[in-house]
Amino acid sequence: MSEDIKKTINELHIYEKKLLKELEANPNATPEEIAENTAMDIKSVMSAAGSLSSKGIIDVKKEVEETYSLTDDGIKYAEEGLPERKILDVLADKKKIAMKDLADETGIDKKDTNIGIGWLVRKKWAKIDKGIVNITDFGKDFSSKNDIDEKVLNYLQSNAEGVKEFTDDLRDGFKNLGNRKNILNVKKNTSHSFVVLPKGESILKEGFTIQKQATQLTHKQLKEGQWKNLQYRPYDINAEAPVVFAGKKHPLRVIIDEIREIFLNMGFSEDNGSYVESAFWNFDSLFQPQDHAAREMQDTFYLKNPLTCDLPDDALVKLTAETHETGANTGSTGWKYDWSEDIARQSVLRTHTTGISTKHLYDFEPPIKMFSVGRVFRRETFDYKHLPEFHQVEGLVCDEGISYQNLLGTLKEFYKKLGFEVRFRPAYFPYTYLSTETEIYLEEKESWIELGGAGMFRPEVLKPLGINQPALAFGLGIERLAMIRYDVEDIRMLYKSDIKWLRELPLDRGVEL
Ligand code: FA5
């Protein structure tokens, strides 16, 4: 204990010491008195007090005292009477007055007439009936005596220096006047007092001397050796410092950049497509029949402008049509329906990034190792794991000898590099066989969440594009990865711009400056 106290004393600033000593001699001293007795300015006294208080050495008590007085309007009302009183005076004589004649009859201005009539009715001194103001019995009663508001008004008028407190009998009137506009003036006076706490008592008991402390060393002091005899105050290296929130990248941007880096390092090259795509590339090139559920309005955003997109060259369109209808040369029987060019021309907001892969296969010769990152759009209802607009990373590898094992290996490697342990589940996509879905376990939801779909492109996809080598492909949701990485239970958090959450995201979770 004593060691602690000694250390605390050592770290006290000279102003803190002066303030403590003064409080020892004069426990009830006000900040102003302390300033005078110690020859410190009041600012230094308050700052030393704040510092002592943060160390639990003294307590700083703050008291706010309010003084009430009348405003100019208040003084006018005290002298001339409140607007409702002026009207009541006339009403006491005439008993009723038409609303329209009120200003003329009472001789008060329009503003006060309106205020007065309001209060007259509220105080039940008068009733208005079909535009006529009639005095009530209650009003007659008050015609010769003051009500509580007027008593307070008079009291304040006779105490021009201001009133700090009202006796019980006046309190309601004071409240009423306070609720009216521009009658009462409130002056606030804040005062501070200090109380020495047990820790402060121990410091005073231990005792200390007040010596001038060196705050800045001069060249001369260093050169001539005077620094050796100076008094220094040790730094408190445990003192709390203000928290600084450095600017940093959005967590979603961070994870996207990380994903790009991983694929580039794994030898993939990057391609990208456009948000607006033809149904041909988004669906038909993927052997999705034209009556497939995913194409329905509830899943896909169809565009009015442009209403349609151009189709690729005739040979590809013709082969795609034949594959859908009969299987063509793919060894498949096809979907057995009449394929429509009009449906293939429809323009859609891409629902996935897989159309980029088929386009890439059409434009480039194997060997191919391509990835692409982008936004996709679906008519989905928001919930904790669904957004109508989200990001996917698409991957494609096409070469002689590529197998389903390569697909699993590639995905495993990718997720491992991101720090995730995933499981694979058999799945179905119209354009792949074998197909799989990767999943990860969500502790909080006690369920598995799907991270992405993948598979080996079917011959019905590859053959029309002129590809004879096998191809693996995958499409992974990025927001879901971010959700897990940043431990958010609801995917919407990523787009909320919740500044508190963004600020507090620790840098060691991979968030970059
Ligand atoms: C596809 O989009 C396929 N194109 C993936 C694919 C590519 C399969 C290549 C085979 C070969 P799916 O609809 O399951 O699959 O979406 C893939 C991932 O996107 C999901 O696993 C999920 O992580 C994410 N995702 C899907 N819908 C949403 C949504 N509404 N909000 C956020 N993420 C979503």
Q: Decide if pLDDT at 357 tops 60.
A: yes
Residues 461 and 417 in one domain: yes
Please compute the mean of the pLDDT values over residues 107-124 and round it to a whole number: 89
Q: Decide if pLDDT at 270 tops 80.
A: yes
Residue with structure tokens 């209802």? 381
For ligand 1, is residue 41 a contact (CB within 6 Å)? Answer: no
For ligand 1, is residue 371 a contact (CB within 6 Å)? Answer: no
Amino acid at 347: S
Residue 307 domain-assigned (yes or no) = yes
Tokens of 73: 């309007």
Kindly give the number of the ligand 1 atom that is closest to the alpha carbon of 388: 30
Residue 49 has what pLDDT?
Answer: 97
Q: Decide if pLDDT at 316 tops 70.
A: yes
Residue 509 domain-assigned (yes or no) = no
Residue 109 has what pLDDT?
Answer: 85
Residue 513 domain-assigned (yes or no) = no
Please compute the mean of the pLDDT values over residues 444-469 and round it to a whole number: 94
Residue 247 domain-assigned (yes or no) = no
CATH number, residue 266:
3.30.930.10
Q: Hey, CA dihedral for 10, 13, 15, 20, is it positive or negative?
A: negative
Q: What confidence tier does 446 reach under pLDDT thresholds 50, 70, 90?
A: confident
For ligand 1, is residue 432 a contact (CB within 6 Å)? Answer: yes
φ, ψ of residue 184 to 5 degrees: the values are -105, 140
Kindly give the number of the ligand 1 atom that is closest to the alpha carbon of 357: 9
The lowest-confidence range among 157-161, 461-465, 504-508 is 504-508
Residue 392 has what pLDDT?
Answer: 98
In Å, what is the CA distance from 88 to each residue of 107, 110, 295, 421, 433? 13, 16, 78, 85, 94
CATH number, residue 91:
1.10.10
For ligand 1, is residue 200 a contact (CB within 6 Å)? Answer: no
Q: What does the DSSP 8-state code read for residue 469?
A: S
Q: Please tell me the distance between residue 401's alpha carbon and the centre of ligand 1 in angstroms.
A: 26
Residue 227 has what pLDDT?
Answer: 93
Indicate which residue's Cα is closest to atom 9 of ligand 1: 474
Domain count for the chain: 3
Residue 511 domain-assigned (yes or no) = no
Kindly give the number of the ligand 1 atom that is closest to the alpha carbon of 457: 11
Q: Please tell me the distance between residue 476's alpha carbon and the centre of ligand 1 in angstroms.
A: 6
For ligand 1, is residue 451 a contact (CB within 6 Å)? Answer: yes
Task: Report the distance separating Cα 417 and Cα 419, nearest Å.
Answer: 5
